[in-house]
Amino acid sequence: MQDMKIEYRDGKLVELRIDGIDFSSATSASFQHVAGDGVPVLTISLPIGVGSSHPTSSGAQENLQIIEK
């Protein structure tokens, strides 16, 4: 993960974007990062069948990684 943006307005998720891929349809999100201790962990839940099935920016899908500690 190189870039991440999480934006809330009036208590509602407005934008959740990771490396150019929009995840604003997420139904839940959990973020954990201890400064100086490894990589950040973001866990999101998405409903099936909502949004486009392809990332909007070319090549962005290859940047996503699953990292298990």
For 36-47, what is each residue's pLDDT tens digit?
887 888 898 988
The reply to whether 69 falls in a domain is: no
Give the percent of the chain with pLDDT over 90: 17
Give residue 62's pLDDT: 61
In a domain, 48, yes or no: yes
Residue 12 is assigned to a structural domain of this protein: yes
| Alpha carbons 22 and 30: distance in angstroms, whole number | 16
Residue 69 has pLDDT above 50, yes or no: no
Domain carrying residue 27: 4-63
Task: Indicate whether 68 belongs to any domain.
Answer: no
Identity of residue 28: S
Half-sphere CA count of 44, side-chain side, radius 13 A: 17
pLDDT tens-place string over residues 8-40 = 899 888 999 999 999 888 888 898 988 888 788
Whether 58 is in a domain gets the answer: yes
Is the entire prediction scored with pTM above 0.85? no
Domain count, the chain: 1
Instruction: Give the residue ranges of DSSP H helices in the chain.
Output: none
Q: Bridge partners of 19?
A: none
Residue 25 in domain: yes
Length of the chain: 69
